[in-house]
Amino acid sequence: MPEKVCISDEFLVRDLVMSDTFTTSTTTGWFSRIGDSIKGILFGLLLIVISFPLLFWNEGRAVKTRKSLDQGSNEVVSLTSTTPDSANNGKLVHLTGEATTEQVLKDEKYNISTQALVLKRTVEMYQWQEDEKTETKKKLGGSEETITTYSYNKVWHEGRIDSSSFHKSAEYKNPMAAEQSQSLTADPITVGGFTLSDSLKSKLSDFTPLPIKPVGPMPETIVGKKVTVSDQNIYLGADPSNPALGDLRISYSVVTPGEISIISKQKDQSFESYTADAGGKINMLVHGNQSAAAMFEAAHQSNKVMTWVLRAVGFIVMWIGFGLLFAPLSVIADVIPLAGSIVGAGTSIIAFLLSLPLSLCTIAVAWIFYRPLIGIPLIVLAVGFFVLLIVKLKKARA
pLDDT tens digits, residue range 91-127? 999 999 999 999 999 998 889 999 999 999 999 999 9
Tell me what pLDDT residue 157 has. 96
In-domain check, residue 168? yes
In-domain check, residue 44? no
3-class DSSP assignment, residue 248: strand
Number of domains into which the chain is organized: 1
In-domain check, residue 144? no
* Rounded-to-10 torsion of CA 199, 202, 203, 209: 160
Burial 315-328 (b: 16+ CB within 10 A, else e): bebbbbbbbbbbbb
Tell me what pLDDT residue 2 has. 36
3-class DSSP assignment, residue 107: strand
Tell me what pLDDT residue 334 has. 67
In-domain check, residue 38? no
In-domain check, residue 338? no
Question: Whole-angstrom Cα distance, residue 247 to residue 237?
Answer: 5
Q: What angle do CA 371, 61, 64 make, to 5 degrees?
A: 60
Residue 13 has pLDDT above 50, yes or no: no
Distances (CA, A) of 245 to 11, 55, 233, 248: 36, 46, 18, 9
* Residues pairing with 209 in the sheet: 253
Residue 393 has pLDDT above 60, yes or no: yes
Share of the chain above pLDDT 90, in %: 61
Mean of pLDDT over the chain: 87
In-domain check, residue 256? yes
Predicted structure pTM score:
0.80
pLDDT tens digits, 189-200: 999 999 999 999
CB 159 within 8 A of CB 134: no
Q: What angle do CA 248, 251, 253 make, to 5 degrees?
A: 155
Average pLDDT over residues 366-393: 73
Residue 48 has pLDDT above 90, yes or no: yes
Q: Give the range among 166-170, 279-283, 373-377 with minimum mean pLDDT.
A: 373-377
Question: Whole-angstrom Cα distance, residue 63 to residue 69?
Answer: 10
Average pLDDT over residues 19-31: 75
pLDDT tens digits, 202-217: 999 999 999 998 888 8
pLDDT tens digits, 338-349: 776 787 788 889
Distances (CA, A) of 52 to 47, 57, 135, 355, 375: 9, 9, 33, 10, 16
Which of 67, 65, 63, 87 has its CA nearest to residue 77?
Answer: 87
Tell me what pLDDT residue 214 has. 84
Question: Whole-angstrom Cα distance, residue 78 to residue 71?
Answer: 15
Top-confidence residue, 58 or 330: 58
pLDDT tens digits, 142-188: 677 788 899 999 999 999 999 999 988 999 999 998 899 999 999 99
Q: Which domain holds residue 258?
A: 87-127+155-290
pLDDT tens digits, 216-268: 888 888 888 999 998 789 999 999 989 999 999 999 999 999 999 999 999 99
Q: Which amino acid is at 325?
A: L
Tell me what pLDDT residue 82 has. 93
In-domain check, residue 74? no
In-domain check, residue 349? no
CB 257 within 8 A of CB 270: no
